[in-house]
Each structure stands twice: as C-alpha cells, then as structure tokens.
C-alpha cells in the first residue's frame, strides 16, 4: 500500500481521494486506517484533529461516510460509492426490497423517516421515530422504540444510508462542544442524479469485481482472501 500520514485536514482529504476507500479505525488489514496513520497530536487533542475534520472532509470531497465495513466507520469516495452501494444492495433499491418482502419492518420504519427528508440529525431522527422519550409527556409508562444504533448501522452496511456531516452543540458563549452529531441522508438525496442515474448501471457482481480489482491495486501485499473478508 502506498504510504500516507495524516497531520492536517488536507492530508485526510488527499488520502480519501487517493485510496477511494479509507477506514477510520484499525481493522483486519494492518496499516489500512486513519487511526494507524495519523500523527498522535491530531488523534486526541484539544485542538481540531481527525475527529473534527470528518464533517469537513465529507463536505469537501463529496464522499460517503458511515459504518460500512464490519460495523466500523470508513470514508468511500464519491466515485466508488455507486459500485459499493450496488453490490451491497444486491441491485435492489429500497422500494424493491419492500415489494419483495426483503425489508424488515423496523428497518423500513427508520429508513422512511430519513428518506422522506433531504437529511436529518440523528437526535432528530430518534425524536421523530420515538426512539427517545419526549419531554413532559406525562406518560410515565411510555416506552421508547429500541435498536436505533443497530438499525442505522445495518442500513449503512446495506448501502442505503450515509452520514453527510457532523454538527456540534453550541454553549452560551457561542463555542462548539461535545461530540459531533451525525446528520444522515439516503445516497439518493445526498448525491442526487450522479448517484440515482447510474448506481445500477452494472450488475452487483460486476461492481464487486471492480472494487476487488481496485483493492488489489491499492493493497498489493494483501491476499485476496483478506480483501474478500474485509469487503464482506
């Protein structure tokens, strides 16, 4: 694999564009992650670093970000996400999954909440969907829906939902604080016609083979079996 080292936001942008697929955390392929290839000073610091750069990198590269590989987060470039979504969806758009009885009701419920909007913050999706208890409901025995994190991860793994930005709470002094709150959208809404007009141009198997060839190119020392396991 071509060596890369992240010290700045631009380094992170360049790595996403260079590799097309870039996991955030260490994984089954040693050395293939931002975590393993960034300066410690930008991994955990009081100053902005890789965590705070996630949103700007998504916006500036127009890539996809989400838990795409074994429930772990990764960036996928705009050019490669169509093939990724096609093979993970097995050629089905979500309406087809519903028509064929493949979509699970609890997944469809959350998907519809997100798909009916251009984008939505995770905390808003939880509130709209009843995954958190509303304030001052007066309903002492009200039980929220369960499984939001599992369902949103599953929808990302299937290629139907992506993270389009991260937004921060603002304190009384106007300063950002806390962890970034994910904003979700369907790839159809995030990428528009660039995605919708071409995502199913190839068969799912053709898309998978294109991705496999690309991984062999960027990871020449990694076996095909290791790549197949990583791709799922």
> Which string of DSSP letters, residue by residue, matches 75-129?
EE-HHHHHHHHHHHHTT--HHHHHHTT-S-HHHHHHHHHHHTSS-EEHHHHHHHH
Ordered DSSP codes for 179-220: EEEEEEE-HHHHHTHHHHTTTTSS-HHHHHHHHHHHHHHH-T
Does a structural domain hold residue 4? no
Full domain range(s) for residue 177: 9-231
Does a structural domain hold residue 1? no
**Residue 153 DSSP symbol:** H
Q: Rounded to an integer, what distance in angstroms lies between the CA atom of residue 183 and that of residue 163?
A: 6
Output the pLDDT for position 140.
64
Which of 195, 194, 114, 191 has the alpha carbon at shortest distance from 151? 114
Output the pLDDT for position 169.
75
Within the chain, which residues score under 50 in pLDDT? Answer: none
Output the pLDDT for position 143.
86
Which of 197, 164, 166 has the alpha carbon at shortest distance from 179? 166
Does a structural domain hold residue 160? yes
Q: Rounded to an integer, what distance in angstroms lies between the CA atom of residue 183 and that of residue 167?
A: 7
Phi first, then psi, for residue 40 (nearest 5°) are -55, -30
Instruction: State how far the alpha carbon of 67 is from the alpha carbons of 71, 144, 154, in Å.
Output: 5, 24, 8
Instruction: Record the tokens describing residue 140, joined without a space.
Output: 């002492």
Does a structural domain hold residue 195? yes
Does a structural domain hold residue 85? yes
Q: Are 232 and 69 in contact (CB under 8 A)?
A: yes
Does a structural domain hold residue 87? yes
Output the pLDDT for position 171.
67
Residues written for the chain: 232
Which of 15, 129, 30, 115 has the alpha carbon at shortest distance from 75? 15
Does a structural domain hold residue 168? yes
Number of domains present in the structure of the chain: 1
Write the burial class of residue 221 (CB in 10 Å: 0-12 exposed, 13-18 middle, 19+ buried): exposed
pTM for the whole structure: 0.93
């Amino acid at each position: 694999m071509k060596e890369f080292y992240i010290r700045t936001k631009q380094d992170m942008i360049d790595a996403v564009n260079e590799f097309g697929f870039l996991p955030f955390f260490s994984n089954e392929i040693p050395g293939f992650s931002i975590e393993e290839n960034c300066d410690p000073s930008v991994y955990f610091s009081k100053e902005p670093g890789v965590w705070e750069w996630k949103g700007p990198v998504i916006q500036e590269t127009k890539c996809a970000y989400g838990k795409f590989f074994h429930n772990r987060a990764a960036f996928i470039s705009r050019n490669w996400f169509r093939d990724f979504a096609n093979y993970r969806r097995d050629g089905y758009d979500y309406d087809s999954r519903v028509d064929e009885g493949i979509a699970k009701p609890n997944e469809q419920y959350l998907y519809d909440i997100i798909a009916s909007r251009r984008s939505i913050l995770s905390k808003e999706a939880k509130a709209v969907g009843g995954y958190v208890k509303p304030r001052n409901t007066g309903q002492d025995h009200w039980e929220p829906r369960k499984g939001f994190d599992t369902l949103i991860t599953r929808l990302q793994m299937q290629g139907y939902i992506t993270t389009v930005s991260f937004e921060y709470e603002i304190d009384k002094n106007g300063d950002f604080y806390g962890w970034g709150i994910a904003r979700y959208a369907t790839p159809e809404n995030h990428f528009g016609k660039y995605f919708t007009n071409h995502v199913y141009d190839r068969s799912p198997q053709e898309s998978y083979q294109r991705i496999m060839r690309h991984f062999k190119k960027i990871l020449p020392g990694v076996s095909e079996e290791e790549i197949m396991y990583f791709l799922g």
